[in-house]
Chains A and B, each alone.
Chain A
Amino acid sequence: MTDTRSQFQPDDHENEHFLLTTVVGSYPKPTWLNRASDLHADHDHDFDDDDWAEAADDASRLITHEHERAGLDAVVDGEMRREEMVEFFAERIEGYEFNGPVKVWGHNYFDKPSVVEELEYDEPWLVDEYEFTAGVANRPVKVPITGPYTLASWSFDEAYGDEAELAYDLAELVNEEVTKLVEAGARYIQIDEPALATTPDDHAVVGECLERIVADIPEDVRVGLHVCYGDYSRIYPEVNDFPIDEFDVELANGDYEQIDVFTDPEFEPDLALGVTDAHVAEVESVEEIKENIKQGLKVVPPERLTVSPDCGLKLLPREVAYGKTANMVQAAREIEAELDAGEIDAEALRSGED
């Protein structure tokens, strides 16, 4: 398998071992950006598209640098330009239409779009976002993209009559977008498929979508898959057959009750392990996060372990999101040093002897 990981190790990395640290994607928006978004949406106000673009650029720069300050090896702009993970893409794809918000629970509604005709690629979705972020970042940039299966499942289908066919068409569009991102320089793509957790029997559809997404993408581009809040035993070991470099999971939330799912049969992609809980507004200590990281070492050797939060951090207070990220990086660096010093025996952890 091509090594897609070492390109993310900084030249001045302090330890022999390297645990790749990153985030899933979303991050709390600065309060002023939410205000700016309200003004932009208010047609009676003269806060125009240029003003909004400037605000979004400023926020992206700010959060990218916040990620660098926390010490992350691969950074994201915190998805400052995106509101919801389906809506953002549906707005940019020809063939989608919006009819209004739909209830999820309580008073939480989202703009669930309808597919009203065969979908077509219209304008680039994320190339501008990537180029801006890469331009201001001093670290490599990861690009999270909502996956085709989730884009299909969380839409009304008026046109296809077959969810898998809709997902496959969307996968072709994602492939087109990834191709453009790679041409623009992106080397780390993460496909987000939370809908798979709710309908795990469709793992073969997601696998087929991924085949389409990675078609003709250069091998040195790192492709990850993120799936959260579900019963992983229902999609593992099938995940081992997916054409991905990394599988990103949320397990801190459930105190690693499911970690053993991944130990038999042997885990094949790299493991990107959630080591801080995205839905607890309390910063875990470095010590606690180190114990969580060791859970990952039960599954893969250090050179195949990526460390990230469980999920996007957007719902947390910003200082908590920063605290979790910074402590996570520190915990990873301390684990690396302990591995270097032989204080942690990774092999013993993996064989269950420790």
Chain B
Amino acid sequence: MQRIASTLGLFPLPDAQRDRLADLKGHQKEDLIGGEEPPELTETYDAARERLIDDQHDAGLDRVVEGQARWDDFLAHPLCVHESVRTEGIVRYYDNNNFYREPVVTDELTESGDVAADLRKAAGLTDDLQAVLPGPYSLSALATDEYYGDRATFLDAVAEFLAGEAAAFPDAVETLYLLEPSLVTDAPESGEHERVRDAIDAVVGAVDAEVVVQGYWGTFDEALHGHLLDTDADALGYDLVTAEEAATDLVREHGTTDRVSLGVVDGQNTRVEEPAAVGDRVEAFREAASSGIDAAYLTPNTELFHLPVNKCVAKLRTLATAADPEVAR
């Protein structure tokens, strides 16, 4: 089984750029990113991107993300900078001590190219580029709709919007992660499963890259998992930090995709795992699955912005070492 070291993106800002951005942007709600930045901000974000990519190269990751330094609003970012969206008060980001601006969709969600533009810059700095987007279900759950009228239509529209964003990605993108924590924390009703499947397929169909659908803060319920296995996504992702037993039971019972993504280091705790222990965890999952697994992405279970910079970098090294064929053997 091939092991591929990667992440879910959304890195903490490097020290130098964090201070610089705080000075340039300020600390209030209205100071957050708007989508079009003045040159000094663009330069600072360019420097942050370069640093984040260097850190991933130094650690030895197999897939390198842009780092998403501009994503002030976490997974809600692609909507928060959209011209058809008004941002309102600061609201809690899942069950964390983190907050984002609530995006309120007030008009048609057309393609913006915001994420693609950052990826084009990243493509000049690395091979093995991996893109990260919120999955359609999670992005629609993080937003408020004042335009499309009902939940189902809104989900379809968000999926179509994300498909447009993904279609604009540069050819260099090899892998696309769709982050779908809401599929776990705020699971769709059984009547919605097929629509969720179709929403994911809309995005998968828009890119010429391997697509991973990653849930976290728990795992998918059984019925939803079945529908996710039916999507065109190449791999499903499981959080083995918060839900190892449930995820293992799920794949023992129902099998999984040929390729999987495994959240094997804790993205929300500074304790740095031993690569050998991470390897054992991966192996145990592979053995439990009732279907064969050809390749496993090894990732943190969540985005990495929850950690201070030094621990984030240490976790990257753990993942790279655990994925090293020498260690794996």
Contact residues of A with B, CB < 8 Å?
Answer: 99-109, 112, 114, 153-154, 156-158, 195, 198-199
Contacts and interface: CB of A to CB of B under 8 A. Distances in A.
A192 B309 CA distance: 29
Contact of A104 (B13, B97, B271): B97
Interface stretch (B26-34, B58-66, B141-149, B257-265): B26-34
Contacts of A109: 18, 22
A106 B29 contact: yes
A24 to B, nearest CB: 19
B310 interface: yes
A101 B12 CA distance: 9
18 contacts: A99-B311, A100-B308, A100-B309, A102-B12, A102-B308, A103-B13, A103-B98, A105-B72, A105-B90, A105-B99, A105-B100, A106-B72, A108-B27, A109-B18, A109-B22, A114-B270, A114-B271, A158-B269
A18 to B, nearest CB: 38
B307 interface: yes
Given A107-B25, A158-B270, A198-B92, A100 B310 contact: yes
Contacts of B98: 103-105
Contact of A156 (B15, B22, B32, B271): B271
A155 B143 CA distance: 29
B99 A107 contact: no
Contacts of B307: 102
B306 interface: yes
Interface in B299-329: 305-311
A85 to B, nearest CB: 12
A277 to B, nearest CB: 14
Given A154-B97, A156-B271, A158-B270, A106 B310 contact: no
**Considering the complex of A and B, which 8 residue pairs feature the smallest CB-CB distances, nearest first?**
A100-B308, A158-B271, A105-B99, A107-B22, A99-B308, A156-B270, A114-B270, A106-B32
Contacts of A104: 97-99
Contacts of B99: 104-105
The size bracket of the interface on B is 20 to 34
Interface of B: 12-13, 15, 18, 21-22, 25-29, 31-32, 72, 90, 92-93, 95, 97-100, 268-271, 305-311
Given A109-B18, A156-B271, 6 more contacts: A100-B309, A102-B306, A106-B25, A106-B28, A106-B72, A156-B269
A99 B270 contact: yes
B31 A112 contact: no
Nearest to A101: B308
A104 B98 CA distance: 5
A103 B27 contact: no
Contacts of A154: 97
Given A156-B271, A198-B97, A103 B305 contact: yes
B12 A157 contact: no
A100 B31 CA distance: 23
A103 B71 CA distance: 12
B15 A100 contact: yes
Contacts of A100: 15, 308-311
B238 to A, nearest CB: 21
Contacts of B27: 106-108
A157 B31 CA distance: 32
Contacts of A102: 12, 305-308
A255 to B, nearest CB: 15
A54 B306 CA distance: 37
Contacts of A153: 97
A154 B268 CA distance: 11
Contacts of A105: 72, 90, 93, 98-100
Contacts of A114: 270-271
Contacts of B28: 106
A99 B310 contact: yes
B113 to A, nearest CB: 23
Given A156-B270, A158-B269, A158-B270, A107 B18 contact: yes
Contacts of B15: 100
Nearest to B24: A107
B143 to A, nearest CB: 17
Nearest to B90: A105
Contacts of B271: 114, 156, 158
Contacts of B31: 106-107
Most chain-A CB neighbours within 10 Å: which of B92, B98, B268, B310?
Answer: B98
A63 B64 CA distance: 51
A330 B59 CA distance: 62
Nearest to B33: A106
B74 to A, nearest CB: 9
A195 B95 CA distance: 12
A157 B266 CA distance: 12
Most chain-B CB neighbours within 10 Å: which of A99, A100, A107?
Answer: A107
